[in-house]
Structure 1
Amino acid sequence: MKIKKLAIIILSVIILSLLWIVYSIFQFKEPETNLNDINEKYHLVLEKYEKKNIVSDNKTYRIIFKSDEDYEKELYNAYKNSDFVTEFDLKNNKSGSIIWRKNKNYIVKFKKDLIKKSLFMWGVISVAFLTLFLYIWKGILSPYKELENYTSEISKLNLDIRLPIHKLNPFGKVTESFDIMREELKKSKRREYEANVAKKELVAELSHDVKTPISTIKAVTEVLQIQEDNPKKLEKLKTIEKKADTINELINNLFHATLEELEELDVEANLTDSRKLSHFLDELRIFGEIEEENSVPECLVYMDELRMEQVITNIIYNSYKYANTVIKVKYEEKDSEIVMTIRDFGEGVLEEELPLLTQKYYRGSNAKESKDVGAGLGMYLVKYFMEKQGGGVEIFCDNGFVVELHIMKNKI
């Protein structure tokens, strides 16, 4: 609607400018010849000639005689130029014509005025078309290009880009609708992302949690195989053990694939009774002998119960797999933390491998000697969960493999 009004205004200006020039042309009139003035000058010119016998020309007239060779030519040019011509006959039998030159100053002036008006008109037309072009560029072409780029970004699921809204934009309602659509798509994409993350976290948690009962089944099966003498029952126990290994491997693969896609696992730490640290060890005694050298100092510690249980389970299970010795646990209370030390008396790991144990998917050289297939995530998760709870972990070798868990007493 706005561009239509602008086009009508520009067209009106152009038509008015053209009418103005046409009017100026039709208004032009040649000045009328003043016969009285010419008559007076005529007698003065002839009188002057008869007295002095001198032919004098000036800018206003010229005298030519019929006896001149170019008389006819001069007379033709005079009529051609619309000059006024008067004939004369003198007493000395000389005759000719006086050519009264036409005043051309008014023609020059008219031409100059016409040129000025034409230039002014073309200036107005140029400004009008420039205004129209700028309006089309700013109001239509530029917003259209922005809209084109915007839809291209939306198709790439770049939902953070905003479409600018301009005052002269004829696509204002379309722009607003697109921006609303972008916001809704962004919300929908965010909900989809959160739902996928929640599902992956659930799969990761379930995958890791299932490992503990599978390990328990395997440990009990191994104990029963040692005690059983019946060949048929022994064969069934071996089958159970084999299937447990298969399930354990599948769970490792599932957990590995899920953790690859997750940015982080959720940890919600709260102030909890420190005595639960000892309770986590009760179910793990099925793997082997666990000795607590002292009681847990009674206080409130900052931890996520589920994640802390996973931390302790990973450490105890690794010691069971790779050392298979008695495991000793000691507690030490400090100003702002409780240090829980878990140690076995196996061969430990090489000194140069210690910093690598907490890296994702890294497995130590001693893992090759174990018949259990792991994902290389146990110690990585120990460090990850401890740091998310505001604490930390230290790993070293001292007549066996030693892990110190630093559990904060107050929230940092």
Structure 2
Amino acid sequence: MKKTFGIMAVVSLVIELVVALAIIGRIDDVGMDPVVVNECVHAIADNYGDEEAYPDKLDYAVIDSKGEVLYKNSDDVATSVNEAVKHGDIMLDLVVEGDVVGKVIFNNSTDEQIEGYKKSLTIAIVCITILQVLLIGLYYYYLRRTIIRPFEKLNSFAARVAQGNLDTPLELDRKHIFGSFTEAFDMMRSELKKSRAAEKKAMDDKKEMVAKLSHDIKTPVASIKSTSELGFALAADEKTRERFNLINIKSDQITALVSNLFNSSINDITEIEVKPSEQPAIVIQELIKSADYLNKAGAFTVPDCRVYIDRLRLLQAFDNIFMNSYKYADTAISVEAYEESFDGASCLAIRISDEGPGVMEEELPLLKEKYKRGSNTYEKDGAGLGLYLTNYYIENMDGKLVLENLTPGFSVIVYLRQV
């Protein structure tokens, strides 16, 4: 394409030069041919008086010696000596049989011819210039389409990648000089996106593992603490009481460290993986017994059905619910399991209730948000993540978490989808 534009530009310049030289050459040849003029005068002399035989190759007028016009073949011809001299016309004596009978005045059209040639030259130059401007415009359009615009797209693409936007692909077009580069750049974007996704997943997996281990450690530590408190109360001698008290203090230290580790890990995890599957409802009884390590829940039964759950995440959800009840209520806990329709779906409802103070009614919707706690709980340690994570787990099992105040007490209802 570039060669075509180059050839066309050169051709237009050559045409312009040739036309200019041709017209200038014709200007140099402007004027009447003396031979033709002399032949015309001789023809008039030979046929003097017979106007029909006069030649008509040139514009002229014949006047006699007194200045009277005897003949003219054009209205543009001067008809007097003064007028002819003023106009620069050619005047020759008309000699008939040796006598000068008058003059022949030939019209001098040199100026008109030069003006005509100048006009032709101007028109030719203007036309060729317009052609060249069109060529320049077409070439600019070609450059913009094949170089400038693709380069601007590459520049914009690089800016987006630098800002971390790896989702918008680079438009591929092999018709410009950056065609192969755009494909390579977009491949780089795709690979960078995969690399970042893999890195993010690895980091989240690592943090989730730390959070899971931290959470799993808290349950046996809490059991050790409760046992040490019981031993402290039942010990008969002071030395044994000191030992149980030391176990209790160290349990609190471990719990604080594990809580900090858990909270920092959960803080950075952008997405916790939940993998629900079809399970028999009877497993819920096992999970609740595992979560209720202080055995504060009474006996309950679970209807015979199948539910859509992730056993690990559901256990963690129950752990959070029971830990909150232990911490903020420290009363007996009742558990009910029953089938109920919720939001048009058949569900298994698990209601876990205590006899604690509950929370303010307007604070109920906030408890499922990250870092939100009831206004009457700030004397207790906590990060406001328990119910947030519980709600996250349940919703990712297509379930629903509902919080209610009782009189007295607090109730958490877990709706699990039946399958």
Q: Same fold (TM over 0.5)?
A: yes
Name 1:391's counterpart in structure 2.
Answer: 399
Name 2:214's counterpart in structure 1.
Answer: 207
Name 1:223's counterpart in structure 2.
Answer: 230
Name 1:36's counterpart in structure 2.
Answer: 39
Name 2:350's counterpart in structure 1.
Answer: 340
User: Is residue 331 from structure 1 mapped to residue 367 from structure 2 by the alignment?
Assistant: no
- For residues 289-322 of structure 1, give each alpha carbon's deviation from its aligned partner in whole angstroms, at most 9, with x where no partner exists: 3311x43233322221112212222222222222
Cα contact 2:208–2:272 (8 A) shared by 1? yes
User: Is residue 49 from structure 1 mapped to residue 55 from structure 2 by the alignment?
Assistant: no
What is the correspondence of 1:94-105 to structure 2 with a 5 Å cutoff? Answer: 100-104=106-110, 105=112
The structural deviation recorded for 1:187 is 1.9
Name the CA distance, whole Å, in 2 between partners of 1:308 and 1:135.
64
Name 1:25's counterpart in structure 2.
Answer: 24
Q: 1:270 to 1:233 in 2, by over 3 A?
A: same
Name the CA distance, whole Å, in 2 between partners of 1:168 and 1:283.
66
For 2:309, the aligned partner's letter is: M
Cα contact 1:62–1:101 (8 A) shared by 2? no
Task: Choose 28-37 or 180-189, whichever is displaced more.
Answer: 28-37
Cα contact 1:393–1:405 (8 A) shared by 2? yes
% same residue? 30
In the alignment, which of 274, 281, 289 is matched to residue 274 of structure 1? 281
Number of aligned pairs? 391
Name the CA distance, whole Å, in 2 between partners of 1:47 and 1:14.
49
Name 1:359's counterpart in structure 2.
Answer: 369
Name 1:67's counterpart in structure 2.
Answer: none
Q: TM-score, normalised by structure 2?
A: 0.80
Task: Choose 32-41 or 268-277, whichever is displaced more.
Answer: 32-41
Name 1:234's counterpart in structure 2.
Answer: 241
SS at match of 2:384: coil
- For residues 132-187 of structure 1, give each alpha carbon's deviation from its aligned partner in whole angstroms, at most 9, with x where no partner exists: 22222222222222222222222222222333344641222222221222222222
Q: 1:38 to 1:122 in 2, by over 3 A?
A: farther
- In structure 1, runs of 5+ residues without a counterpart are 65-70
For 1:177, the aligned partner's letter is: A
In the alignment, which of 412, 415, 419 is matched to residue 406 of structure 1? 415
Name the CA distance, whole Å, in 2 between partners of 1:46 and 1:202.
119
Name 1:117's counterpart in structure 2.
Answer: 124
Name the CA distance, whole Å, in 2 between partners of 1:3 and 1:364.
74
For 2:347, the aligned partner's letter is: E
Cα contact 1:322–1:366 (8 A) shared by 2? no
The structural deviation recorded for 1:254 is 3.0
In the alignment, which of 371, 390, 394 is matched to residue 382 of structure 1? 390
For 1:362, the aligned partner's letter is: K
Name 2:137's counterpart in structure 1.
Answer: 130
Q: TM-score, normalised by structure 1?
A: 0.81
Cα contact 2:333–2:355 (8 A) shared by 1? yes
Name the CA distance, whole Å, in 1 between partners of 2:297 and 2:291.
8
Name the CA distance, whole Å, in 1 between partners of 2:319 and 2:265.
20
- In structure 2, runs of 5+ residues without a counterpart are 50-59
Task: Choose 19-28 or 298-307, whichever is displaced more.
Answer: 19-28
In the alignment, which of 301, 309, 320 is matched to residue 314 of structure 1? 320
Task: Choose 150-159 or 161-170, whichever is displaced more.
Answer: 161-170
Name the CA distance, whole Å, in 2 between partners of 1:166 and 1:280.
58
